[in-house]
């Protein structure tokens, strides 16, 4: 364990190499391009923004297709004010409905309307095809496995509490 701690300390003291910085930049550029392509596809084919899709996905997975707005903001990692403005636009388009929370006067629940559910269902197949075309088709099964391991290592590094839970889950 001490050798690992020493390696970590040494890694935090040294500077990034040109190669590491180039790899970082490539990650940023690639994810930006993927988001751009997927956003354009959603907008052109389905008349949904990526934010619309993210909200609709969260609501479609929620119990009863409804969730408190504060929980929705947390689930999709948005600031409450950003979510509130976005929900207003979605509500005007008939995709969602906001109602006062029955158990708490201060909160609101967001629910998926039938039009919202229909829009989400219509967008899912084209969106998945675009993910396959622009992401999955570019990688071999070996590359997918390596990428999954890399992403897990990054998640464990960024959220050590999850790494502990992940290691415990892997032991059982």
Residue-wise pLDDT for 5-35, tens only, equals 655 665 567 899 999 999 999 999 999 999 9
Sheet holding 108-112, edge to edge: 66-68, 108-112, 96-100
Domain annotation covers residue 14: no
Full DSSP string of 26-48: HHHHHHHHHHHHHHHHIIIIIS-
Domain annotation covers residue 92: yes
Residue with tokens 């509500």: 91
Closest CA to 41 of 146, 135, 151, 155: 135
Domain that holds residue 65: 36-123
Model's pTM, two decimal places? 0.78
Q: Which DSSP symbol is given to 103?
A: T
The gap between the terminal CA atoms of the chain, to the nearest Å, is: 22
Domain annotation covers residue 47: yes
Domain annotation covers residue 25: no
CATH code for the domain of 63: 1.10.10.10
The residue that leads in pLDDT, 124 or 162, is 124
Please tell me whether residue 159 adopts helix, strand or coil conformation. Answer: coil
Quote the number of domains for the chain: 1
Give the pLDDT band of residue 118 (cuts 50, 70, 90): very high
Give dist(CA 49, CA 41) in Å, integer.
Answer: 9
The rounded percent of the chain whose pLDDT value lies above 70 is 84
Mutual angle of helices 18-41 and 114-134, in 10-degree steps = 140
Mean pLDDT of the chain: 89
């Amino acid at each position: 364990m001490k050798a690992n701690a020493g390696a970590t300390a040494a890694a935090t003291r040294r500077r990034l190499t040109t190669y590491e910085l180039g790899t970082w930049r490539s990650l940023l550029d690639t994810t930006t391009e993927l988001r751009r392509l997927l956003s354009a596809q959603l907008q052109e084919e389905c008349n949904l923004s990526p934010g619309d899709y993210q909200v609709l996905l969260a609501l479609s997975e929620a119990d009863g297709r409804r969730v408190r707005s504060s929980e929705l903001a947390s689930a999709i990692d948005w600031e409450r004010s950003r979510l509130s403005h976005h929900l207003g636009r979605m509500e005007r388009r008939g995709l969602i409905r906001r109602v006062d929370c029955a158990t708490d006067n201060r909160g609101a629940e967001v629910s998926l309307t039938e039009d919202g559910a229909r829009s989400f269902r219509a967008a899912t197949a084209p969106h998945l095809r675009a993910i396959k075309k622009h992401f999955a088709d570019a990688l071999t099964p070996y590359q997918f496995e390596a990428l999954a391991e890399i992403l897990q290592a990054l998640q464990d590094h960024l959220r050590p509490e999850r790494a502990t839970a992940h290691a415990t889950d892997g032991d059982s």
